[in-house]
Amino acid sequence: MTLSKKSKQQLRKTLEDMRQELLDEVRVQIERSRVKDHMGDLGDYATADMAAEYAHLFGERLRHKLQLIEDALDGIENGYYGYCEECEEPISEKRLQLMPFALYCVRCQSELERQAKLRGERFEEWYGASRNE
């Protein structure tokens, strides 16, 4: 079942709001990274290194999620939004309301998670990848 025009408009608004929240989060991260370093002991440097690594990983995840949102908005604009990347069947409206940038229908998502588990990995749909645990 394809999405109604009203549903697409609501999902577009949700995606635009999500995009703005992520952009705000990125701005906060950038501002935090600009804080001047201060002289401190080795513990302070170790903590700063861990914080920098966390910020990098967090930033990568934010960028990837932002890309998924941008792709979903582009899909709405160009008519290919809401179809599973695996089986090409429509993704349920309920699923899209919960995760408007979903790439897979529930059936394919479950199968991808099952396959990843058999390989000893964790499948993160929104991150779009299997990851070693």
Residue 131 is encoded by which pair of tokens? Answer: 């990851």
Q: At residue 74, does pLDDT exceed 90?
A: yes
Name the DSSP letter for residue 133: -
Expressed as residue numbers, the domain containing 25 is 5-132
pLDDT top residue among 6 and 128: 6
Of the two residues 87 and 28, the one the predictor is more confident about is 87
69: exposed, middle or buried (Cβ count in 10 Å: 0-12, 13-18, 19+):
buried
- Over residues 116-126, the mean pLDDT reads 77
pLDDT tens profile 11-36 = 999 999 999 998 888 788 777 766 65
In three-state secondary structure terms, 132 is strand
Q: What backbone phi and psi angles, to 5 degrees, belong to 37?
A: -70, 150
Residue with tokens 């930033």: 59
Report how many domains make up the chain: 1
pLDDT of residue 32: 72
Q: Rounded CA gap, 66 and 58, in Å?
A: 12
Question: pTM of the predicted model, to two decimals?
Answer: 0.72
Comparing 117 with 128, which gets the higher pLDDT?
A: 117
User: Per the structure block, which two tokens stand in for 109?
Assistant: 């998502």
Average pLDDT for the chain: 81
**Residue 113: pLDDT above 60?**
yes
CATH number of the domain to which 124 belongs: 1.20.120.910
* Cβ atoms of residues 33 and 55 within 8 Å: yes
> Alpha helices of 34-104 — where are they, by DSSP H?
42-78, 93-98
**Spatial contact of 130 and 123, defined as CB atoms under 8 Å apart:** yes
Question: What integer is the mean pLDDT of 85-107?
Answer: 95
Residues 6+ apart with CB under 8 A from 101: 15, 18, 65, 68, 69, 71, 72, 126
Q: For residue 131, what pLDDT is reported?
A: 45
Alpha carbon 92 to chain centroid distance?
19
